[in-house]
Structure 1
């Protein structure tokens, strides 16, 4: 029985170390971007040895992958809670914009762009597909429900509609700096997407 307790304590310490490294890396990425981030500064801030970083994360890109996975899961959980309430397609699209915009504000434009750059990179150190991401899965489900309710055209491809809508959000957030123009463009994106999907 005692060896199992020691193993659990060791696992807890390992997870705590991983969290410290992740937090320090995020702060460094926000300040310098991933390419400019200094591993030495990260391990110093986390209070760990240099090799400990690579034990937990094989590369700086793997830190961003972990961050992306966590944020996708968090946003998908919040979006799923929203979808459990009464809603229409326009409000579901607006909720997705709200979630992604909040992520960009929280991380800052530099780290947000780094996440997107890695997400679309052909050298991304992961084999997952767009269809595996929980926010897309939830948005596809919302579009399919709207189609089933007769709110949108029956021939609509839910996956491609969701993917193009998300690409539109990313495009606005990464290329438009002025808040008033950005807000207007995002509102127009929701209206255009809804009108393109709804029944005539």
Structure 2
């Protein structure tokens, strides 16, 4: 009996993974709003109703994808922070990680990924789901405060959120133009200046 339950659970997870993979491809092609559930289930090789068994809405697919990608980015950020980089290098790493994600997901899905943070229809996350990249940046700012390199009155959580929200807005609006790199560098430079202790 226990073995049957394990087999059923393994099949359920395998089906969910197929749906997530197919949905990610479809979202990357046309964006979440225009994604066709019939195309997703056909690609995953499952019945139409199976999609809704696993994901009540397309937004729930995006929420799960977001959680996975944020965890991966946070893991990579934490590995980088373990090398004890300077604050500027660490903020540039965060920029690079999000730029890589844009390249991996494709622009339509990346826009949906970032826009989901501001959506009024965003599904409520499961209990305990957090934003690992935010927490990695909070640890970075906490270390910078302890080291005396930034304003001691800095609120690490607010600083992490403000930095990422500004970065999200820039990445969504500036596109791939020739001035993109300079603008992102300027954003990091301005952030660093804003963190300095008041004279």
- Report the TM-score, using the length of structure 2 for normalisation: 0.94
**1:152 equivalent in alignment to 2:150:** yes
RMSD between superposed Cα atoms in Å: 1.7
Please state how far the C-alpha of 1:128 moved relative to its aligned partner. 7.3
Q: Which one has the bigger helix percentage?
A: 1
CA gap of 1:148–1:128, structure 2 versus 1, over 3 A, is farther
Taking the TM superposition and a 5 Å limit, the aligned residue runs for 1:136-147 are 136-147=134-145
Once residues 15 and 3 of structure 2 are traced to their aligned partners in structure 1, the CA distance between those partners, rounded to angstroms, is: 18
**1:51 equivalent in alignment to 2:39:** no
Tell me what 2:75 maps to. Answer: 77
Taking the TM superposition and a 5 Å limit, the aligned residue runs for 1:8-157 are 8-127=6-125, 132-157=130-155
Gaps of 5+ in 1: none
Please state how far the C-alpha of 1:180 moved relative to its aligned partner. 2.7
Please state how far the C-alpha of 1:179 moved relative to its aligned partner. 3.9
The number of residue pairs the alignment matches comes to 197
Local SS of the residue matching 1:180: coil
- Report the TM-score, using the length of structure 1 for normalisation: 0.93
Once residues 127 and 22 of structure 1 are traced to their aligned partners in structure 2, the CA distance between those partners, rounded to angstroms, is: 17
Please state how far the C-alpha of 1:178 moved relative to its aligned partner. 3.2
Deviations 1:6-40 (CA, angstroms, capped at 9, x unpaired): 21111111111111101111111111211111111
Once residues 108 and 198 of structure 1 are traced to their aligned partners in structure 2, the CA distance between those partners, rounded to angstroms, is: 36
Deviations 1:60-101 (CA, angstroms, capped at 9, x unpaired): 010000000101111111111111112111111011111111
Deviations 1:107-165 (CA, angstroms, capped at 9, x unpaired): 11110111122221122111579x93111111011011101100111111212211111
Please state how far the C-alpha of 1:56 moved relative to its aligned partner. 0.6
